Amino acid sequence: MEYIQTVLGSIRPEELGATDYHDHLITIGGGEEKADRDLRLDRVDYAIDAMRAAKAAGWGALADMNPIDCGRQVEMLREIAEASGMHIISCTGFQRGIYYDAEHWVNKYEVDEIARLIADEIEIGIEINNYNGPIVKRSAARAGVIKFATHYNCIRPMELRAIEAGCKASLMTGAPISTHTERGTMGLEVIGLVRKFGVDPKRVTLGHVDRNPDLEYHKRMAAQGVTLGYDGPSRAKYWPDSVLIELIKGMCEAGYEDHIMLGGDNGRASMWPQYGGGYGHNYILEVFVPRMREAGISRECIDKMLYENPKRQFSIVK
């Protein structure tokens, strides 16, 4: 049995539609927001407005990639999904080690105990207060994907624990994995680790890898079965879109169009028109996809990135 677990319940993979594989709708509290106030997204009304506009532009689904204790607000995600009709997938797991202090339970519990806590968010319900206890209160929403994260050019001790726990939880529940890489580094190392922990790389999406737009590196990762998450369109501070278009073209020419998903990663208020910034959630469909078409990337390849690959990469397989 294969299904997608959204915050409003399970759906069939065919119901997903065009999917923004990695984005953010609400961030209140957590280590990232404390480190950088631009990462605070506290307006449910803005998110509803953005998701209504996203639906009108052609998006069908979005994964909110705030994991445990990174400002995740599951009940607000339910409200946004109900009001907008967008399929919203919430995640469990962890961000990078720098966002959890040494006294956090993730640095103290056994890996098996952490894996159980992750698995319970997939099988029973997301803990409303991010396991900040002492009482466990679960949402009716279950998580649909497991996140872990790696540092720039290295993997910190907490991150290694989170990778092992995430892999164990994936094996227990059949849930897929979607990661954070820092500037696209450590992709090959993560593939080696998930293999070591018994997870098929096909069940893993490596996030933000387009921030290291080295075609050979991307081919090597995709050849091992992982899907690559590209979420850099419009982010001229990293690369102009032309760099990403060339990367995607190269990947499609090498036959790897089954290994790419696209996302907005609008984690900053300054990236949302609703907060007074730009371009927001519709840039990919309204600007980047037409540019891919003009560059000669086929509709078939683009549809795989937007529709087909997410069906597979977000499926819970039992």
Q: Which residues bind Zn ion (CB under 5 A)?
A: 65, 265, 267
User: Given the complex with Zn ion, which of 127 and 265 has the nearer CB atom?
Assistant: 265
User: Given the complex with Zn ion, which of 162 and 297 has the nearer CB atom?
Assistant: 162
**Minimum distance from residue 265 beta carbon to Zn ion (Å):** 4
Residues 315, 318: Cα–Cα separation, whole Å: 9
**Minimum distance from residue 227 beta carbon to Zn ion (Å):** 16
**Minimum distance from residue 207 beta carbon to Zn ion (Å):** 7
User: Given the complex with Zn ion, which of 69 and 265 has the nearer CB atom?
Assistant: 265
User: Given the complex with Zn ion, which of 60 and 264 has the nearer CB atom?
Assistant: 264
**Minimum distance from residue 185 beta carbon to Zn ion (Å):** 16
Residue nearest to Zn ion (CB): 265
**Minimum distance from residue 41 beta carbon to Zn ion (Å):** 11
Here the tokens at position 110 are 């056994």
Order of strands across the sheet that contains 316-317: 9-11, 2-6, 316-317
- Which backbone phi and psi does 159 adopt, to 5 degrees? -65, -35
**Minimum distance from residue 231 beta carbon to Zn ion (Å):** 7
**Minimum distance from residue 172 beta carbon to Zn ion (Å):** 25
User: Given the complex with Zn ion, which of 271 and 302 has the nearer CB atom?
Assistant: 271
DSSP string, the chain: -EEEEETTEEE-GGG--EEEEEE-S-B-SSHHHHH-GGG-B--HHHHHHHHHHHHHHTEEEEEE---TTTT--HHHHHHHHHHH--EEEEEEE---GGGS-TTSGGGTS-HHHHHHHHHHHHHT--BTTTT--SS--B-S----EEE-B-BTTB--HHHHHHHHHHHHHHHHH---EE-B-STTTTHHHHHHHHHHTT--GGGEEETTGGGS--HHHHHHHHHTT-EEEE--TT-TTT--HHHHHHHHHHHHHTT-GGGEEE-----SGGG-GGGT----TTHIIIIIHHHHHHTT--HHHHHIIIIIHHHHHT-EE-
User: Given the complex with Zn ion, which of 65 and 244 has the nearer CB atom?
Assistant: 65
User: Given the complex with Zn ion, which of 38 and 303 has the nearer CB atom?
Assistant: 38
**Minimum distance from residue 95 beta carbon to Zn ion (Å):** 9
User: Given the complex with Zn ion, which of 176 and 257 has the nearer CB atom?
Assistant: 176
Residues 300, 11: Cα–Cα separation, whole Å: 24
